[in-house]
Amino acid sequence: MYLFKTIKNLQRYLLACKNRNESIGFVPTMGALHEGHISLLAFAQQHCTLTVCSIFVNPTQFNEKEDFDKYPRTTEADIALLEQNGCKVLFLPDVEEIYPHPDNPAPVFDFGYLDKPMEGAHRPGHFNGVAQVVTRLLQIVQPHHLFMGQKDYQQYKIIDKMLQITQSPVVLHMCPTLREPSGLAMSSRNIRLSPKEREQAAHIYRALLLVQQSMEVLPPKQARMAALNYLEQHIQNAQPEYLEIVNAHTLERVQHWKDAAQTVVCTAVRVGNVRLIDNLLLPPQTT
């Protein structure tokens, strides 16, 4: 695997690849890699002749400094895991490489309603930071295909919109969420859970499944309440920040299942000190 820390060296290498007509896939990450990340790499490897992974803990998308400081960093293990899984190129820049002029204003996008609810409401500035870093990384790597996880569904919608706004030719792919056998969505933050908290965190997915199971008998509002009650009963000191059933396209709340061709239930829950998010795309309904 080639490891590049500078834009200059990465671009020199990629230019030669593009001249050989390689199709370039890109998997941006913040490291502390797990099987979920590796599944994105595998998707990219199937679609493209060359896949670039990046590891960059982007300071501009953290709205709490403590969250940034505590974000797990496991670079040595990440490099080994990428190598084991046949990754050809890793881009591992430092902050100065990505933001050489930190005082320059970040590009501001109008995402309409997409960045208003859920993560947008609870993490002010988060999506601007995400859009800023993805724009910058795309400018550097100039891939043909971009692979992102459904795990961060709202982020996927934001990047989809950003690509439309900038009329980018990059093709965006959404890859399914990988889960632990317990149902807990794999996340870099899971490392910070105690064994007991990890067990409890599995109830997050069960709450989402409860919504799916109750679709035939309950309207969205009541299905949402049932899931919130489930979380409160099953996770000690559970602090659900939100649990919303929304139109998967617009992210607006739905009153009736039939209001949207596709709905998605999204949640963020604090388990101990760890903030976890998850979501489930729901089957279409006629009522």
- CA-to-CA distance for 146 and 26, rounded, in angstroms? 5
Choice between 29 and 132, CB closer to ligand AMP: 29
In total, the chain counts a number of residues equal to 287
Which of 24, 25, 26, 29 contacts ligand AMP by CB under 6 A?
Answer: 29
Other C-beta atoms closer than 10 Å to the C-beta of 113 total 12
- Asked if residue 188 binds ligand AMP (CB under 6 A), the reply is yes
Listed in sequence order, the residues at least 6 apart from 55 whose beta carbon sits closer than 8 Å to its beta carbon are 29, 30, 31, 33, 75, 78, 90, 91, 92
C-beta closer to ligand AMP: residue 18 or 270: 270
Task: Specify the residue, 48 or 178, whose C-beta has the smaller distance to ligand AMP.
Answer: 178
Catalytic-residue membership of 37: yes
Encoding tokens for residue 100?
A: 């050489």
Q: Which residue among the candidates 37, 126, 145, 203 is catalytic per the annotation?
A: 37
Q: List the structure tokens of 80.
A: 């080994």
Query: Which residue of 25, 36, 120, 220 would you call a contact of ligand AMP, by CB under 6 A?
Result: 36
39 binds ligand AMP (CB under 6 A): yes
Q: Report the nearest approach of ligand AMP to the CB of residue 218 (Å).
A: 28
Compose the 166-185 pattern: x for residues touching ligand AMP by CB under 6 A, - for all others. Answer: ---------x-xx------x
State the catalytic residues. 37
Contacts to ligand AMP by CB under 6 A: 29-30, 36-37, 39-40, 148-149, 151-152, 175, 177-178, 185-188
